[in-house]
Amino acid sequence: MIPEEVIKIADDIREMRIRGAGRIARAAAEALMIAAKSYNGDLEDFARYMEEVSEILLSTRPTAVSLPNAISYVMKAVRRRYGSVVEAVEAVVRAAMEFKEYSEKALELIGEIGSRMIEDGMTIITHCNSSAVVSILAKAWREGKRFKVYATETRPRYQGYITARDLASRGISTTLITDSAVAYIMRKADLVLVGADAITSNGALINKIGTSQIALTAKVYSVPFYVAAETYKFSPYTLAGEAVEIEERDPREVLDPPIEGIEIRNPAFDATPPEYIDAIITEIGVISPEMAILVITEFLGHRIVSEAPKGYEDSETELGSQY
Amino acid sequence: MGEGIEMREKLTEYWRVYGATEAAKSILEEFLRKVNSSKSWEDLLAAIDYLYEACSARPYSALLVNASRDVLQEFLSSGASSVYEAVNTISSKISRMLDMVENMTLQAALIAAKRIQDDEVIFTISYSGTVLKVFENLVARGARVRAIVTESRPFGEGVEMARALRSLGVGVTLIVDSAIRSFIKRASRVVIGAEAIAANGATINKVGTALLAIAAKEARVRLFVVSGSYKIVPETFFGELVGSPEMEIQDMPQDLIAIGVKSYAPLFEAVPTGYIDAIITEKGLISPPAIPYIVRETFGSWPPRVRRIEDLYREARTLMLRRLRTP
């Protein structure tokens, strides 16, 4: 019996009441913890039960790799041998707590590292809503740096409003612009700073729809384009050749009611090629996108050994030990 | 039956509201009504005040400014001494010009349609009556073209463009403005209208067009501008810039305004010539830097001998006031 609270978290992720790659990852770890705590079967069935819970969580949204990475981290604890249910549950709870703590610490570290790259008097463009970006800008502002942020409203769901709220409530000078005005504003910009839903093994960025055309425009105008991303957003599956699935959402998000006879397409994400990215700011340091492979192999500990991993079950994830 | 008429009425309404050509034409038509009902020099003065105010409010509307210049010039050179004569002079000039604009648009659209093949996917942006005319030609020819349109925030004219294209029988895909780069490779060509065209061929159009042009260039998809030559702004030959009205995002939530979030929504932007493969006017398909050629054809000389709208307005006003005082 899967607890209602867990089902609710899964629904909240699917319906975007819980959104943002980092928050989704932490919510998934939390859900696994709740599921483990409320387990009342025997030890033999525990792993199967936890697998079932993780399948439900995995099915919510396909694109952000933080979700399977978080689940993978916690589920590794499930797959060890235990003498009792209590022992197994304790191990899962510990792993989930570790992940959540790590994730929060990572945000803080990204804020610290990234804020050093913000200069006084800058004009910065950001897109959608990213906790890592807000962490950087908030830290820089606290350090006394003064800058101006243009936040895109981010159709169709207007996550730019959340960014504007996050920034303006800290006193940061914030202006919302339409997504269509990015090229117009780029002439005035010194820096573009965005978050990430996933980073592939060749250094491409998967992020909110619109990111790649902003990166392209930044390149045209010679404006540096930085990405802020925790290491658990790097995708080990892409190393095995898997493509990141771009989620296509309900057309009603674009136009409600839709018009009969007009096809509405609503992909939620797009891919920015590494050549448009100047730097990725992670909690373990600043890297060029081409070095994404180092994060996946050296830091996260994934490798193609003999045959390609079929999915997250077979991969080895080591988090939290080295920052 | 009723639905068809309703759709056509709606369409007319959208043209009036959204297209650059149509918006300018509706102002000229209103001016024509004011002129035709003028009984005195006072009425005529009010009419040219209306026209000049419209020009000042929309300096980026090349058609409006060019047409207003022609009308004022015609009035000044006619030497009209009675209200009746002046009304006739202005009225017939406006009517001729409106016809001319219509013909130029049709001709440009026809040339553009010839260049497009039967199975193409055309990416367009915002609402353009001229681009719709291109599609009308294609549909009439039996071409099975498809269209991709962005919604165009903040006003959503792209949705109306999609509606108009659908009613022509064109298959349409509607996307958010952010999805341009994700969909550009599905297009065989970009076709856009123009609000104004500058001396060097740079084209001013609805905001988002520069993004589209940059994405098209990256994907090696050709970009065509279709426009009557009346969209060329002769002032730009003498260094004047075409401004864009800057607005705020009207539907921003109140709580954001309360914590000091500002908003900024420019309406138009320029596409540099390097991103435009061809400009198609009624005088043919040219490369953007060849705009001076069209100017010579249109204005009779290069550089064009044109007078500033401010000077013409002041002169026309002075003349009307003089006539008013000495009947």
Which of A166, A180, A216, A219 would best serve as a mutation to test chain B binding (most B beta carbons within 10 A)?
A180
Instruction: Check if A128 is active-site.
Output: yes
Q: CB-based contacts of A284: which residues, under 8 Å, 6+ apart?
A: A109, A231, A295, A299, A322, A323
Nearest Cβ partner for A261 among B152, B166, B175: B166
> ipTM value of the model?
0.90
Q: What is the rounded CA–CA span in Å between residue B306 and residue B293? A: 16
Asked if B166 is an interface residue toward chain A (Cβ–Cβ < 8 A), one would say yes
Q: What is the rounded CA–CA span in Å between residue A189 and residue A89? A: 51
Give mean pLDDT, residues A277-304: 92
In the set A128, A166, A179, A314, the catalytic residue is A128
Give pLDDT tens digits for A109-132. Answer: 999 999 999 999 999 999 999 999
Nearest Cβ partner for B153 among A169, A179, A266: A179
Asked if B180 is an interface residue toward chain A (Cβ–Cβ < 8 A), one would say yes
Give mean pLDDT, residues A76-87: 93
Q: Report CA torsion sign: B257, B260, B266, B271.
A: negative
C-alpha of A263 from chain center: 29
Asked if B121 is an interface residue toward chain A (Cβ–Cβ < 8 A), one would say no
pLDDT at B315 over 80: yes
Q: What is the rounded CA–CA span in Å between residue A284 and residue A291? A: 12
Q: Is B99 helix (H, G, I), strand (E, B) or coil?
A: helix
Lowest-confidence region among A276-280, B16-20, B35-39, B184-188: B16-20
Strand order in B203-206's β-sheet? B196-197, B203-206, B268-271
Report chain A residues touching chain B, CB-CB < 8 A: 150, 152-156, 161, 164-165, 168-169, 174-185, 208-210, 212-213, 216-217, 220, 254-255, 259, 261-267, 270
| Assigned fold of A109-312 | Rossmann fold (3.40.50)
Give pLDDT tens digits for B170-194. Answer: 999 999 999 999 999 999 999 999 9
Query: pTM of the full predicted structure?
Result: 0.91
What's the CA angle centered on B16, arms B15 and B19, to 5 degrees? Answer: 55
Give mean pLDDT, residues B268-285: 96
Please state the CATH superfamily assignment of the domain spanning residues A4-104 in this structure: translation initiation factor eif-2b, domain 1 (1.20.120.420)
Instruction: Check if A197 is active-site.
Output: yes
Which band of pLDDT confidence, cut at 50, 70 and 90, is reported for residue B51?
very high
Give pLDDT tens digits for A28-74. Answer: 999 999 999 999 999 999 999 999 999 999 999 999 899 999 999 99
CA dihedral B49, B51, B56, B59 (to 10 degrees): -170
pLDDT of residue B2: 40
Which band of pLDDT confidence, cut at 50, 70 and 90, is reported for residue B122?
very high
| Residue A305 burial class via C-beta count within 10 angstroms: exposed 0-12, middle 13-18, buried 19 and up | exposed
Question: Is A278 within 8 Å of A226 (Cβ atoms)?
Answer: yes
Nearest Cβ partner for A164 among B166, B181, B261: B261
CB contact (8 A) between residue B176 and residue A155 = yes
Q: What is the rounded CA–CA span in Å between residue B248 and residue B32? A: 32
Q: Tell me the β-bridge partners of B266.
A: B246
pLDDT of residue B248: 87
Residue A250 DSSP label: -
Only one residue has tokens 């249910």, namely: A85
Residue A296 DSSP label: I
Question: Is A208 within 8 Å of A154 (Cβ atoms)?
Answer: yes
pLDDT of residue B70: 93
- For chain B, how far is it from start to end, CA to CA, in angstroms? 55
**Any idea where the domains of chain A sit in the sequence?**
4-104, 109-312
Give the DSSP per-residue string, A110-165.
Answer: HHHHHHTT--TT-EEEE-S--HHHHHHHHHHHHTT---EEEEE--TTTTTHHHHHH
Asked if B176 is an interface residue toward chain A (Cβ–Cβ < 8 A), one would say yes
In the set A45, A120, A197, A250, the catalytic residue is A197
Which of B211, B249, B271 would best serve as a mutation to test chain A binding (most A beta carbons within 10 A)?
B211
